[in-house]
Amino acid sequence: MCLSPVNEAAVKVLTEFGTSEWENSVEEFREEFGVLASRLERVRNQDKLPVLLPDGTYLELSQGQHNVIQKAIIEEFLPRHAPGSEVLYLGDTSKKILIRKDEKIKELGLPGIEHDLLPDVIAYNEVNNWLLFIEAVYSSNPISKLRHLNLEEFTKNCKPSPVFVSAFLNRQAFREWCLEISWETEVWLVESPDHLIHFDGSKFFGSYRERR
C-alpha cells in the first residue's frame, strides 16, 4: 500500500514513540506539515464569510449566496443609506442567530422577534428614527403585499418609523420578483449599492434636476 507523505511522516513519529528520537520526529513533522488542529481550523474558516458590523464587531456567516447578500446589507447598504445604524438582529442560513438584542428591540416597541415574518436583518437608525427591516432575497420571501401588511401590523406600536427593504444581488434577480414587491417599500441591489428603487408612489416624485 502506498502512503502519502503525511501518512509516512506520521508512521515515522508513531514508530519512534518512546525512543530518544521521538521528540525530534514530532518537531520535524510539525515543521513540515503544520499542527493538524491549525490546518483543520484553516479549512473550516474557508467555509465562513467574514462580516464587519457598523460598530466594528467582526462576525462570520456561513457561505452561500443568501449570506453574500446579508454581508452586503451590513457592509454596503447600511453605511450608504442609513449610516450609524445599530444592527439589532441578524440571522444565518445555517439557522443560527448571530445577533439578537432583545432589550433594545422591546425598548423600541416591538413585541419581540419570535415571528415567522421577520426579515433577515433588523437595524435601528437613531438619526432618522428608523427601524429597518431588510430581507436578503435569493430564492424566496421579498417584502410582498401580504408580508408588508403583516409587518405593518407587527410594528403598529413601534416607536421609530419602520422601513421595509428587499435586497437582491442584481437586476436579473430582482426582475424575477418584481411583481411581488409591495408599494411603500424599498428595493436595493448589491450590484448598484449607491441607488434605491422606491416603490413609494408620489413620495419621491419630482425632477432630479431640482435636487442637484
Give pLDDT tens digits for 43-94: 454 578 899 999 888 999 988 999 999 999 999 999 999 999 999 999 877 6
Phi, psi of 71 (to 5 degrees): -60, -45
CB 10 within 8 A of CB 29: yes
CB 66 within 8 A of CB 92: no
Choose from 13-22, 111-120, 174-183 the range with maximum mean pLDDT. 174-183
Domain residue ranges in the chain: 5-45, 49-199
Give pLDDT tens digits for 166-188: 999 999 999 999 999 999 999 99
CA distance 77 to 98: 19
> Helices 5-15 and 22-33: crossing angle, nearest 10°?
160
Smallest CA-to-CA distance from 138 within 168, 159, 161 is with 168
- If residue 41 lies in a helix (H) or strand (E), which one and from where to where? helix 36-45
pTM value surpassing 0.85: no
- CA angle 55/59/63 to nearest 5° reads 140
CATH number listed for the domain at residues 49-199: 3.40.1350.80
